[in-house]
Amino acid sequence: MSTPTLLMADVDDLERKKNEALENKWGLRHIIGIMGFFAVGIGYIHRFCLSLAITEMVRSHSKEGKIDVESCPFVLNTTMVIQHTGEFNWGEETQGLILSSFFWGYVINQLPGGLMAERWGVKWVLGFGMFVSSMATLLTPVVSRTLGAWGLICLRIAIGFGQGPLYPSLNVLMSNWSSANERGRLGAIVFAGAQIGNFVSMAISGLIISSLGWTGVFYIFGGIGIAWLIVWLFVYYNSPLEHPYIKEDERTYIITTSGKTHYKDLPPTPWIPILTSVPLWGLIIAQVGHDWGLFTIITDLPKYMKSVLHVSVKENGVISGVPYLGMWFFAILSGWVVDWMIVKLGWGISLVRKMFISIASIGPAIGIVAASYSGCDKVLTSVFFIFGMTIMGAFIPSLKVNALDLSPNYAGTLMAIVGGIGAISGILTPYLVGVLTPNSTLLEWRLVFWISVVVLMGTNIIYLIMGTAKTQWWNDPDQVRSYTEGKEKSKEKETA
């Protein structure tokens, strides 16, 4: 009577060992992950390369006679800083509108992009979005010179619209191509592309601008986007079931361990359960706080380094870019640590996610405050910014994959909701910075940084209370069908 039990145990043990071997073996899913990495990297270059370029595009304005007792010394012994080096006469508020306009289009197309990626597949939805982003980037110099600030704002909205499906699509990609046991690592590979993109958009842009002028940034990075698109169309297929070149053992491994239900047709999206989900709203609030801190730094750190610390464009690019290289490294390291804690140590997924999301909030808060009180010391300021933004990398294998924890089947929709609402921070922060720093003084910027710290810490506390990594009941298509049928029967009884 015990033989079948032993045989079943042996089969389970063999299956477990086979899966462990596949986890440590390079496969097509990793190549797909690298393509996702480059998609995120190029997308972030397109969205944020303007942050550094605009410091050379515009003319610096006078300080309106305002005296900042903690202002950093400049070449001239005066409180008036006037440099007529740029082509465009755009004030701080106008620059804030230009920098925030990307997120207007980005927010609008998050949810539609996620729904399209889930229903029609990632290949063409993401591919078309990146085509729009690349072409609009290529057109930036021409549009800026011919149509001015409002033309550039419209173009930036188009770039945002094209990139709206980026994160929702990549969450669908992850749900199709990643094992639940590898989600932290593969997620770190894919989503850490943002940090490399930020580094390139700052550090490399500084070198390009110093040698080719600000227009070179948009021509080079727009062209790279088109090159990625060509490779993407040949390499990517929407799932392991469709890919003609995947090995059968890897296909089986992904399908059986992903946690995704492989129905040809999912039931209608359960909007009411999703939108009333407490864990989802905890994740949304955490995303808002993270994006507030991140977008404040990404979009406005180059302006701070130039207007407050008076660094050159080369220095500015390096100083503004290095923090994201540190964030990328820490994201990859965190991804391995997260999976090790969950798989090897047996820690609860919710505990690990909350731990790393908290690290990603506390670290940046400390770094931002310390940098704002470092005065005119460029080295010390840079060290604190690098420290804070490096530690923020812990959000990649925690915050960015939490939507997959809640629902692998509706990951695109969840990420669209989370990313769309979170991206509102990207609309508010650049414009708020423009309003709060009309004279670009150290004291004005200190207030900006303190606001970011309060938002980061407050939203993190809320997530600790509301958040979880437990898969929600509405992820199961059969339960969703039962729920829908129950609602319909209740309506029939009410009308009878």
Give the separation between CA 361 and CA 294, rounded to whole angstroms: 10
Helices (H) and strands (E) in the chain, counts: 22, 0
pLDDT at 355: 94
| CA pair distance 122, 116, nearest whole angstrom | 8
Please provide residue 300's backbone torsions phi and psi, each rounded to the nearest 5 degrees. -120, -10
| Residue 265 DSSP symbol | S
User: Quick count: other Cβ atoms within 10 Å of Cβ 116?
Assistant: 24
DSSP 87: S
| Token pair recorded at residue 298 | 């990404």
What tokens does 494 get?
């009410």
CA 238 to chain centre: 21
| CA–CA distance, 11 with 5 (Å, rounded to integer) | 10
Here the tokens at position 75 are: 């070449």
CA atoms within a 13 Å half-sphere pointing along the CA-CB vector of 473: 10
Closest-CA residue to 55 (of 17, 30, 92, 23): 92
Rounded mean pLDDT of the chain? 82
C-alpha count within 13 angstroms, C-beta hemisphere, residue 200: 20
Backbone dihedral angles phi then psi of residue 58, each to the nearest 5 degrees: -100, 160
Polymer length of the chain:
496
Token output for 185: 């690592």
Please identify every stretch of the chain with a pLDDT value under 50, giving residue numbers as ranges.
1-3, 6, 8-12, 14, 61-67, 69, 75-84
- C-alpha to C-alpha distance for 359 and 353, rounded to whole angstroms: 10
Rounded to whole angstroms, the Cα distance separating 156 from 89 reads: 18
Amino acid identity of residue 9, one-letter, is A
What is the rounded distance in angstroms from the CA atom of residue 164 to the CA atom of residue 130? 10
pLDDT tens string 27-79: 888 889 899 999 999 999 998 889 888 888 887 644 444 445 456 665 443 44
Backbone angles phi, psi at 236, to 5 degrees: -90, 140
> What's the pTM value of the predicted model, to 2 decimals?
0.72
- Alpha-carbon span 486 to 495, nearest angstrom: 14
pLDDT attached to residue 35: 92
Q: pLDDT, tens digit, for every residue of 99-117?
A: 889 988 988 888 888 788 8
Distance of CA 388 to the CA centre of its chain: 17
Kindly state the helix (H) or strand (E) to which residue 281 belongs, with its residue range. Answer: helix 278-307
CA-CA distance, 132 to 42, in Å (whole number)?
Answer: 13
What does the alpha-carbon distance between residue 253 and residue 22 come to, in Å, rounded to a whole number?
Answer: 8
User: So what's the pLDDT on residue 358?
Assistant: 94
d(CA 47, CA 43): 6
pLDDT on residue 222: 96
In this structure, what token pair is assigned to residue 389? Answer: 């933004």
| Residue 280 confidence (pLDDT) | 94
Helix axis angle, 215-235 to 28-57, nearest 10°: 160
- Distance between CA 122 and CA 128 in Å, rounded? 10
How many Cα atoms within 13 Å fall on the side-chain side of residue 311? 22
